[in-house]
Structure 1
Amino acid sequence: MPDANEAGDGAAAGDAVKMIGGVKPPAQPTISNGIIDDWKLWKQAWDNYVIVSRLNKQPADYQTAMFLNVIGPQGLKIYNSFELKENSRDLASILQHFHAYAIGEVNETYERYIFNQRVQKADENFETYLASLRVLAKTCSFEPLTDSLIRDRIVLGILKDDARKLLLQERGLTLAKAISICKSCEAAETQAKAFKESVAPTAINKVARNFRKSSGTKPKPRNQATAKRLGPERDCWYCGNKHIRDKSVCPALGKTCKKCGLKYHFAKMCKQALDKPYAAGTTSKKKVNAINENSYEYDSDSSSTEYISMVNVK
């Protein structure tokens, strides 16, 4: 990039390149009580204006006059305070004096302290954090270790622990690789968050039909139609508890009696053990082969509900 402060090698007025119209110079710098605010930022805007408008192709006196006009009355007072014995109209020399006035002598130790204290803020994206580190490094005289020290500051100051873990796992980590990893982690987190917000939560209701605690709460019908169909609660001949006339809520469903060896009732409700002493633990001439599970029904018209309606025997 050409030096914004070059005077076109002292080009004469007749040899000067015509300036581009319509390009506005930066606004006057903010000067309060002799202190220039954001001098570095203003100087950057001035350098851009010099190049875009082709001011650097104009005669030296013209460049200086333009600068002194742009900085305004307060800036002109500061200029008049400078002791410029030689080349008092040289723009490069004037800018150096303004820089020394606004910034003063750089305390390298303090600048490095500020750099090493910089961590990513909670509401700050990685690009902003990286740009801040680059700016701070300029006044730390890190050359030629600037990239490696910025890399280390990223590892130590990054907000997300997941990203830091990936950085520490990378062998031969370079600044470029560290930047790539941090950007990828940030993008993945943003995409995952957007995906989560776009998907409506789905409620999954599971009905545990084969498990009910004998001492548990009483099941309730889902609606009035179901309640009317199932009828009121009553003592169950299979489990001994009191519940609605629905086999799916009976805790004895699928259970095996410890007395008779048959299914679908508890031992405390077993009648086979009383009627057939050989049914459990004794020798029987008849062997149960199969039980029809569909036969496990409640009879709403009879108080003496049968346990098994179909048993194949040999």
Structure 2
Amino acid sequence: MEGFRIPPAMEFSGNMGQNWATWIQKFELYMLAAVDTNASEEKKVAIFLNLIGDAGLEIFNTLKLKISSTKLEDVKAAFKKYCEPKKNVVFDRFKFLSCTQKDGQSITSFITEIKTLVKNCEYTNEDEMVRDKIIMGMKDDNLREKLLQNESLSLKKTEEICNIMEISRQQASVITGNQPKPDYAVDAVTQKRLNKLSNRNSYNKSFIKCQRCGYKHDNRKCPAFGKTCSYCKKHNHFSACCLLKNSNDKNKKKKKPETSPVETISLCEEVDNLFIDTIHINQLKSKLSDCSNEEMLAENIMINNAIVCFKLDTGAECNVLPTKVYCTKICSLDGIAPANVNLMAFGRKMVQVRGLINQYWV
């Protein structure tokens, strides 16, 4: 018996039916390879009880069987009856039909799992059921489509196509030097909008300020990508970072340093969610034309030859004007454009937006 691998003791916990099927297969292989076929039944039973372990020996003692007068087949039948519970075909079929390929599971492993589950289902044609379940339960849509193109598809042909596809992917990954990636694997795509209220502490300080959007972000995640500049009408940058606009602004500063345009008051179309500081309506009503209120940091700014008092907020993502101030000092609301934005003040309080305007201030 030397030189042959001895089966380990059987585990009598968990799924005993499956444990028994696996252990008895190993035992029979060992008996076939290492034990003389002419050995007595008593010796075969003794080898069985020696290999099955202490727990199996205790179970044998409860079966009222004697080693000297019992055949090995009778012992195996008694243990099979003890380990295998009463079959429930409906439940076994439920497990078979609900089985699908798991994330990261190879198609070969999935086919083996399906073949194992179908054994207890008592189907008339197991091959057809396994073939159908492989096609329905796999995650690879491209492979499924290729299989469905075959009019007379057998289980053997299905396995051959699946194995060829899996091997070809592994070989291609070796050639390209990349890890194999199944067709069903989909990279997660997320879209993060700039919101200082929720993301103020989440920026990585190592990020470099982007020259296209003006913000700090991860590589290839610029919010300006695919957008159109409202100034030069070119793509992939915001108007605040427009080189043509900045160049024109510099020229205007040189000519008229005291009245040169500094910025365009515009609710940026590229951003849907904008953040501003608190707005005190009482303060705005009492100080519409000057900034003498010492309780807030403000500045008088001339718009269309009218002086308007603005509260200064370096953390705001847009500039806002009360409707009354706009109608009184600038013009009517007839020419404003519709706004598709959400304006949020400190404390997550939403502010109603009437529309968008574009005006130069000095």
Could you say which TM-score interval applies, normalised by the shorter chain? 0.5 to 0.7
Match of 2:152 in 1: 172
Name the aligned partner's letter for residue 138 of structure 1: K
Match of 1:134 in 2: 115
> Is it true that 1:149 corresponds to 2:118 in the alignment?
no
Match of 1:71 in 2: 52
Determine helix, strand or coil for the equivalent of 1:115: helix
Match of 1:46 in 2: 27
Provide the C-alpha distance between the structure 2 equivalents of 1:108 and 1:88, rounded to a whole number of angstroms. Answer: 36
Match of 2:185 in 1: none
**Contact between 1:88 and 1:94, CA under 8 Å: does it hold in 2?**
no
Provide the C-alpha distance between the structure 2 equivalents of 1:43 and 1:123, rounded to a whole number of angstroms. Answer: 31
Figure out how many residues of one structure are paired with residues of the other and give that number.
191
Determine helix, strand or coil for the equivalent of 1:151: helix
Match of 2:41 in 1: 60
**Contact between 1:30 and 1:37, CA under 8 Å: does it hold in 2?**
no
Give the number of the structure whose alpha-carbon radius of gyration is greater. Answer: 1
- 1:80 is displaced (CA, Å) by 1.7
Identity %: 27
Match of 2:83 in 1: 102
Match of 1:271 in 2: none
Provide the C-alpha distance between the structure 2 equivalents of 1:148 and 1:156, rounded to a whole number of angstroms. Answer: 12
Determine helix, strand or coil for the equivalent of 2:47: helix
- 1:86 is displaced (CA, Å) by 12
**Contact between 1:64 and 1:90, CA under 8 Å: does it hold in 2?**
yes
With normalisation by structure 1, the TM-score equals 0.52
- 1:183 is displaced (CA, Å) by 2.0
> Is it true that 1:114 corresponds to 2:95 in the alignment?
yes
CA offsets 1:54-108 (integer angstroms, 9 cap, x no match): 3443111110111112223321111121255999511111111111111122211
Q: Which runs of 5+ in 1 are unaligned?
A: 1-19, 199-212, 219-314
> Kindly tell me: are residues 56 and 110 of structure 1, through their superposed partners in 2, closer, same or farther at Cα, counting changes over 3 Å?
farther
> Kindly tell me: are residues 149 and 214 of structure 1, through their superposed partners in 2, closer, same or farther at Cα, counting changes over 3 Å?
closer
- 1:188 is displaced (CA, Å) by 3.6
**Contact between 2:17 and 2:83, CA under 8 Å: does it hold in 1?**
yes
> Kindly tell me: are residues 152 and 61 of structure 1, through their superposed partners in 2, closer, same or farther at Cα, counting changes over 3 Å?
same
